[in-house]
Amino acid sequence: MIRQATREDAIHLANVHIQSWRTTYRGILEDGYIDSLSYEEKERLWKNVLQSPTGLKNTFVAYNQDNEIIGFINGGQDREKTDVKIAEIYAFYLVEEYQRQGIGTELFLAMWDHFKLNQYSEMTV
């Protein structure tokens, strides 16, 4: 199930963010760096992201039958700002055990719908 994220979701987004990094990037990035990721820092980051006006930026979460957030997608205007009609996906993470079940596709489509609603004509990742 997919819904728009709220500020109260910040700790859960931090959890997904770090879990995803630890399973996806281990062996790619240095273990010391991955192990040093801070839940408190990520929670602060997500509180800041989620308190800004949603307008052209947005975050959607996927949650399971137990109402636990298991993934998210975040995006808005292209950060290069080369063209106001170009959108960008800033972050897109899903807990490993929920990957390859179509949940990522649903998150992507929710964001794509948001981009279309806000008159974006292209998207970058």
Predicted confidence at residue 56, as pLDDT, reads 62
Residue 81 reports pLDDT greater than 80: no
Distance CA 125, CA 14 (A): 20
Lookup: tokens for 27: 């062996």
Q: What is the CATH number of domain 2-124?
A: 3.40.630.30
Cα distances from 114 to residues 21, 27, 69, 105, in angstroms, run 26, 34, 20, 14
Q: Any alpha helices (H) in 1-125, and if so which ranges?
A: 10-24, 31-35, 39-51, 103-117
Q: Could you tell me the two tokens for 100? A: 């390859």
- Domain range summary for the chain, segments of one domain joined by +: 2-124
Q: Using one digit for the tens of pLDDT, what is the confidence trace for 2-21?
A: 999 998 999 999 999 999 99
